[in-house]
Amino acid sequence: MGPALLFCPADRPERFAKAMERADAVILDLEDAVGAGRKSVARGALIESELDPARVIVRVNPPGTDAFLSDLATLSQTDYRTVMVAKAESAKSLKAFDSRFSLIALCETAKGVAAAEKIGASAQVTALMWGAEDLVASIGGTSSRKPNGRYRDVARYARSRVLLAAAAAGKAAIDAVHLDITDTKGLASEARDAAASGFSATACIHPGQVSVIRDAYAPDAKTLSWARAVLEQARTRPGVFAFQGRMVDEPVLRHARAAVSRAERA
């Protein structure tokens, strides 16, 4: 599912339908988007909702918390089987889920990022995601970004490590949210970088960010034209060859196939 995954507070059921209309998949959030006093309301709304399970992800609270246990009990009363596990820090902590569930492990603490490879190797994990704000908070920092809006080095490292861990395990990788809703230029730049780097999707927090992400993940006309042309050339030119002044070998062809695949999904 992807490329635009939209978070929606689970205690706001009046927003569910609009979120489903706008995004490729909706993350119904039982964790950070819901205050402690509203958790029960959110769980009730989740049970009563009748959304397409194939396009719904439920973010649960961190393993080891009372809220997590309540979330598990709630999930058993729904048809939703794709679960995003907040603050995942070990493969062992994911064993609370039985084989019915597919998991997206959210590596957003120092421990979680450090264990990304082991978490990604878990059979039930289908994707890894990273988070900047909780990560920086977990190491005593105060901001994930520099004054110019760019990520600090520690956040960039975590982003890269989670991406590589996902790829090494053959799993999808999801990029973190862009919190500045008004900064569409910054979001577009980060989403284009995410797509080019190998992320499968980017999460977002506002419906207005969905189209920006979709446009960023779809290859531009020039790139798509080149990709199709070089793949056509490869049909009759085995091995390494030159095309439009560039050496083309198998890694370059894989880049081209990825661009065509993204265009088809878009």
Q: In this predicted model, what pLDDT tens digit does every residue of 154-189 receive, in sequence order?
A: 999 999 999 999 999 999 999 999 999 999 999 999
Q: In terms of pTM, does the model score above 0.75?
A: yes
Contact 163, 199 (CB under 8 A): yes
Residue with tokens 């990304």: 116
Kindly give the residue spans of alpha helices, DSSP state H, lying in 54-180: 66-75, 110-114, 116-120, 132-138, 153-168
Percentage of residues of the chain with pLDDT beyond 70? 100
Give the C-alpha separation, 121 to 164, whole Å.
12
The answer to whether residues 140 and 134 touch, using CB atoms and an 8 Å cutoff, is no
Please list, in sequence order, all residues whose beta carbon lies within 8 angstroms of the beta carbon of residue 127, skipping any fewer than 6 positions away.
104, 105, 166, 171, 172, 173, 174, 200
Contact 174, 200 (CB under 8 A): yes
Residue 200 and residue 170 in contact, taking contact as beta carbons nearer than 8 Å = no
Residue listed under structure tokens 């070089």 = 230
Taking residue 185's Cβ as centre, other Cβ atoms within 10 Å add up to 10
Residue with tokens 């900064």: 183
Picking from 183, 178, 195, the residue whose alpha carbon sits closest to that of residue 263 is: 195
d(CA 252, CA 238): 13
pLDDT band at 263 (very low <50, low <70, confident <90, very high): confident
Domains of the chain: 4-217 (3.20.20.60), 221-265 (no CATH)
DSSP run (H or E) holding 29: strand 25-29
Q: Which of 57-61, 171-175, 242-246 has the lowest mean pLDDT?
A: 242-246
Q: Which of 35-44, 88-97, 191-200, 235-244 has the lowest mean pLDDT?
A: 235-244
Closest CA to 232 of 28, 84, 263, 241: 241
Ramachandran quadrant class, 239 (left: phi over 0; alpha: psi -120 to 50; beta: rest): left
Q: What is the per-residue pLDDT for 266?
A: 64
